[in-house]
Amino acid sequence: MNKLQIRIAAFAVLALALVCSGCHVSGKVEQGRVIAYDRNAERVTLIPESRTANQPDPGVLPPVTVQTPSDPQEMGPAPVAGKLMMLDLKNRRLVVFDAATQGFRTFQYAPVEERRNVTKAPASPSVDRDHKTITIYSRANRTTVTIAASDEMLALPDDAWKFGDVVRYYYKDPARAVRFMNVTRTDLSSSK
């Protein structure tokens, strides 16, 4: 091989290495429901979504805690936390994250009132310990449900009956988000 052929081969190898390094995806994306948010510590704790398709699922345990992006431009609206993971209207079942046990608790419920096609979210949740009812709003179903609550249900904190925001984040280090998006509070239909 002469010097020109060696230079051309070296250039080709270098170009191929640069192209291949550009194709390498170095990060991952996760999505889940927020159960705790500490603005001062810049930490979000969430229940990752299950990757099981076509089945209602409260998410995957254990909860994951992530440091929010250090660049405020990479952070969307601040998330709202809640411990209600799932409202199954068909089977009349609620799934709540219990912080004390770090697990899920499932409750069957009896509806007192159910209103569908609710366009404006009411102040939710409404826990009425005197009348032993809890009113829950589901944005996904656009439904407000008032349920008869047991003493066990009423003993839980009020945020047990509130859905936390769904967030999506991109990371290279699993403990720190590079980009963070609040899916619940971001209106993608009005983006340009």
Residues 92-114 have pLDDT tens digits of: 999 999 999 999 999 999 999 99
pLDDT at 160 over 50: yes
Global pTM value: 0.81
Strand partners, 161: none
- Give the distance between the most distant pair of CA atoms in the chain: 92
Inter-CA distances, 4 with 8, 11, 14, 121, 147, Å: 6, 10, 15, 71, 81
Q: What does the alpha-carbon distance between residue 105 and residue 96 come to, in Å, rounded to a whole number?
A: 5
Per-residue pLDDT at 54: 66
**Count of all residues that appear for the chain in the document:** 192
Question: Does residue 2 form part of some domain?
Answer: no
Nearest 5°: the CA angle 121, 51, 172 is: 95
53 vs 16: CA distance, rounded Å: 38
Considering the domain boundaries, does residue 16 fall inside one? no
**Average pLDDT of the chain?**
86
| The pLDDT value given to residue 139 | 86
**Which pLDDT score is estimated for 31?**
94
Q: Other CB atoms closer than 10 Å to residue 74's CB: what's the count?
A: 15
Contacts of 2 (CB under 8 A, 6+ apart): none
Residues 64 and 30: beta-carbon distance below 8 Å: yes
- Average of per-residue pLDDT across 136-162: 93
Q: For 1, which DSSP code? A: -
Encode burial over 132-164: b for 16+ CB neighbours within 10 A, e otherwise.
ebbbbbbeeeebbbbbebeeebbebeebbbbbb
Greater confidence (181 vs 192) lies with 181
* Lowest mean pLDDT, pick from 20-29, 65-74, 137-146, 151-160: 20-29
pLDDT above 60 (res 10): no
Question: Is pLDDT of 192 > 80?
Answer: no
- Would residue 3 count as lying in a domain? no
- Whether 13 has a pLDDT exceeding 60, the answer reads no
Full residue range of the structural domain in which residue 98 is found: 28-190
Contact (CB, 8 A) for 34 and 63:
no
Q: Any idea which residue has 């159910």 for tokens?
A: 114
Q: Is residue 156 part of a domain?
A: yes
Q: What is the pLDDT of residue 1?
A: 61
Evaluate whether residue 8 is within a structural domain.
no
Average pLDDT of span 49-54: 76
Identify whether 5 is part of a domain: no
Pick the more confident residue, 38 or 2: 38
Given a cut of 60, whether residue 4 has pLDDT beyond it is: no
At 43, the pLDDT band (50, 70, 90 cuts) reads very high
For residue 22, being part of any structural domain is answered with no
Is residue 18 over pLDDT 50?
A: no
Compute the distance between CA of residue 79 and CA of residue 32 in angstroms, rounded to an integer. 11
For residue 12, being part of any structural domain is answered with: no
Instruction: Indicate whether 117 pLDDT > 50.
Output: yes
Number of domains in the chain: 1
